[in-house]
Amino acid sequence: MLMNANESALLIIDVQEKLMPAIHDGANVLTQNIRLATIASLLGLPVIATEQTPEKLGPNHPDIKRLCDRTLAKTHFDACVDGLPATFLPACKEVVVSGCEAHVCMLQTAMTLLQNGYRVWVVTDATGSRKTADRDAAFARLRGAGAVPVTLEMVAYEWLGQSSHPQFREVLKLVK
């Protein structure tokens, strides 16, 4: 099954400025999330972010914050417990998920989204944890639960659908 831009939202989990230095390859994870959010914005898709206890961990990186339509401050690791689906994703059937930490907040949120009937794609090259073993275990567990691992380029080209899309050239600049 391919992603459908008309039914998709991008969900960026906890790409908080204070957290990113501790994430394995954190600079790349941040860069990929900025690219994803930019692509989603160019295509008119909802871009939702979460922040884990921002009063302690600080806000999302400013470039992420600027690109998001809405941000949910949360205290639970699973953003769904703090009202994510009902408040932020009412019209979406599929959610493209990225962010940190893969084995905690991203995993728990994605698992609940799957349980609630959403199709979930996890952007592996835009998702991180402090340890690669934790990140990889999260990907394996999510795959087993029905989430589909994808890369930024897969997401971009499936959302575009065709090279005649009006935003193709702009998205191509971000992907290359």
What are the φ and ψ backbone dihedral angles of 72, each rounded to 5 degrees?
A: -105, 115
Query: Which structural domains are found in the chain, ordered by start?
Result: 5-175 (3.40.50.850)
Are 101 and 24 within 8 A, CB to CB? no
Q: What is the pLDDT of residue 108?
A: 98
Q: What is the pLDDT of residue 85?
A: 84
Which pTM does this prediction carry?
Answer: 0.96
d(CA 128, CA 39): 20
Q: What is the pLDDT of residue 86?
A: 77
pLDDT along the chain (176 residues), means of 10: 94 96 97 98 96 95 95 96 82 94 97 96 98 98 98 97 95 92
Q: What is the pLDDT of residue 159?
A: 97
Tokens for 42, please give them: 């160019």
Q: What is the pLDDT of residue 88?
A: 74
